[in-house]
Amino acid sequence: MKRIGGWVCVAAALLSWPWAVARAGETGKTLSVTGIGSVEADVVADVGRFVEANYRADTTVKPPVEIGEVSAQTIVEALSGARSERDALLLGIVAVPETVFPDTLTLAGEGMAFLNITGLMPDPEKKDDPAEVEKSGWLIRKEAMRAFGLMIELTACPNPQCVLWPHKGREQLEKKGANLCPPCLEHAHRALRAKGVPVQFGRNLDLPFSRQDEP
C-alpha cells in the first residue's frame, strides 16, 4: 500500500509539473512587450496574450513608454531605458512614419526589437471596417511572433504554415501561418530555457498548428 501511495504521489507531481514550470515564470525571466509613443494599449495587450499562448512562455506586458521627439535614436533609448533584469527579450511596438523605421521589424541590440505597425494598419478610409481591423490584428500578431523568433536567432522555416516562413510582401504575410510549427516551437523552447525563461513543455494543444482563419 505504501508503494502504491508513493507511485500516486510521483504521478501527481509529474502531471502538475508543467504548470509549476509556468508559475515559476513569476520570479524568472520573461518575454516582454511594451508600447512606445502613440500605440493603443489594447494592441500591446493583444500581442502579449498571443505571444504567451503560442510560445507557451511567461510574457509580461510592460507599462507604455512616452517619448518626445519621434526619431530612431529617441525610440531606441526609450526601449533600452524600459528594459529590466527580468526582460529576457523585449519587443517595443511603435506606430511611427516609415521614414523612422523603414522595415516592419528592426533588431535593436541583443534581446531587443521594434515592431512598427504603421504599414500593418488598415487604410484610413477602412479604419472603421471590422473585417479590416481584424485582418490588421492578425498581421501584427504574426510579425510580433516573428520578432521574438528573430531575437532568439531562429532560422527561417521552409513551411509556409509557420510564422517563421520568410514571406515576401503583404499578400504572403496574410496567407502564412500565425504560430510556430512544432519543430520551430521545440527550437524556441530550447533557446528560451537557455535564457532563463520558463516554458511549458510540449506542444500547444489549445491553439492547434494551422493557418488562422482570417476575414
Closest CA to 79 of 35, 30, 142: 35
Q: Is residue 139 part of a domain?
A: yes
Alpha helices in the chain (DSSP H): 2-24, 41-55, 72-82, 130-151, 169-175, 182-194
Q: Is 102 domain-assigned? A: yes
Residue 27: what pLDDT?
Answer: 54
Look up residue 119 and give its three cell numbers.
504599414
Phi/psi at 186 (5° precision): -65, -40
Task: Provide the domain limits for residue 117.
Answer: 29-194
| Residue 110: partners with Cβ closer than 8 Å, 6 or more residues away | none
Residues 160/177, Cβ–Cβ less than 8 Å: yes
The residue assigned the cell 507531481 is 13
CB neighbourhood size of 44 (10 A): 23
Would 207 be classed as within a structural domain? no
Q: What is the DSSP letter of 158?
A: S
- Any domain includes 9: no
- We report the CATH number of the domain holding residue 122 as 3.40.390.10
Question: What pLDDT score was predicted for residue 201?
Answer: 61
Per-residue model confidence (pLDDT) at position 157: 96
Give the three cell numbers for residue 90: 523585449
pLDDT tens, per residue, the chain with 215 residues? 444 444 433 333 333 333 333 344 445 899 999 999 989 999 999 999 999 999 999 999 999 999 988 899 999 999 999 999 999 999 999 999 988 988 898 988 889 999 999 999 988 888 889 999 999 999 999 999 999 999 999 999 999 999 999 999 999 999 999 999 999 999 999 999 999 999 986 444 344 333 333 33
* Domain-located, residue 208: no
**Element holding 115 (H helix, E strand):** strand 112-116
Query: Does residue 40 form part of some domain?
Result: yes
Number of domains in the chain: 1
Asked if residue 108 belongs to a domain, the reply is: yes
| Structure confidence at residue 172 (pLDDT) | 93
CA distance 109 to 115: 14
Check residue 119 and report its DSSP letter. Answer: G
Rounded CA-CA distance 40/26 in Å is 26
Q: Which residues pair with 57 in a beta bridge?
A: 199
